[in-house]
Amino acid sequence: AQSVTQLGSHVSVSEGALVLLRCNYSSSVPPYLFWYVQYPNQGLQLLLKYTTGATLVKGINGFEAEFKKSETSFHLTKPSAHMSDAAEYFCAVSDNTDKLIFGTGTRLQVFP
Amino acid sequence: GAGVSQSPSNKVTEKGKDVELRCDPISGHTALYWYRQSLGQGLEFLIYFQGNSAPDKSGLPSDRFSAERTGGSVSTLTIQRTQQEDSAVYLCASSLHKTGGEAFFGQGTRLTVV
């Protein structure tokens, strides 16, 4: 069965600094990987996803993630944080059954 | 509607009562998921419906929880004899049945058991 581990329940960065949110997965088959974002008092929305092909995936709002099979990782990055990036971020994995399993989330705080 | 609709948006119930939470998925989406979001617990998988296949109920925390999906569309999550630890936001999502397809989420039902 697939699973997801997000290291760090809280991450704080200064505005303009690099954002790095970590995600490691476990899957017995080639995984499909997702990052979702939940802004305060809003629903979850897809940030980006990896299915096949290019391992570096670009998403909305300047975020990107790289699928590294050898490290079973799918870390989320953004070169320069903005105040509006403050939210909770969830990594998720699915297999060929499409059952979607989420991590426990990482709350990102951005300080001016 | 254009998105996943959940009702009610908020529900306060007394301990021991039964509650029903409703989810209207996006039209044409064959996959439907229920999750529970508690503070510090992330999104806990509850149940997954895919077309006419038997649902994956492996995430239901106890036999007090059940869900059904009628006609491959609307789904109802039922919690019997509610307990205070059932207090959480219950999220529903739907997706097209295609490999790696995006799941679209509703706004959730905030359940408070008093």
Find the closest chain A residue to B43 by CA distance: A102
CB–CB of B42 and A97 under 8 A?
no
Q: What is the pLDDT of residue A87?
A: 96
Find the closest chain A residue to B105 by CA distance: A44
Paired tokens of B97 = 């049945």
Q: What is the pLDDT of residue A33?
A: 94
Q: What is the pLDDT of residue B58?
A: 92
Mean pLDDT to the nearest integer, B91-106? 86
- In the DSSP assignment, the letter for residue B2 is -
Q: Which of B101, B107, B108 sits opposite A98 (nearest CB)?
A: B101
Helices assigned H by DSSP within A9-107: none
Q: How distant is the Cα of A112 from the closest Cα of chain B, in angstroms?
A: 25
Q: Which residues of chain A have pLDDT under 70?
A: none
Per the DSSP assignment, residues forming a β-bridge with A17 are: none
Note the pLDDT tens digit of each residue in B35-87. 999 876 789 999 999 888 889 999 999 999 999 998 879 999 999 999 999 99
Q: How distant is the Cα of B58 from the closest Cα of chain A, in angstroms?
A: 11
Chain B residues in contact with A105 by the CB 8 A cut-off are 42-43
Instruction: Name the CA radius of gyration of chain B, rounded.
Output: 13
Relative to beta strand A10-14, strand A106-111 is parallel
Mean pLDDT score across all residues of chain B: 92
Q: Does A44 touch chain B (CB under 8 A)?
A: yes
B1 pLDDT above the threshold of 60: no
Whether A95 contacts A2, CB under 8 Å: yes
Whether A51 contacts A111, CB under 8 Å: no
Q: How far apart are the first and last CA of chain B?
A: 33
- In this structure, which amino acid lies at residue A108? L
| Residue closest to B5 by CA, chosen among B96, B92, B66, B70 | B92
Note the pLDDT tens digit of each residue in A13-33. 999 999 999 999 998 778 899
Q: What is the pLDDT of residue A49?
A: 93
How many angstroms separate the Cα of B30 from the Cα of each of A20, A69, B103? 34, 30, 11
In angstroms, rounded to a whole number, what is the distance separating the alpha carbons of residues A94 and A29? 9
CB–CB of A104 and B41 under 8 A?
yes
In angstroms, rounded to a whole number, what is the distance separating the alpha carbons of residues B3 and B30? 14
The count of CB pairs under 8 A between chains A and B is: 57
Mean pLDDT to the nearest integer, B23-34? 93
Q: What is the pLDDT of residue A99?
A: 82
Relative to beta strand A87-94, strand A106-111 is antiparallel
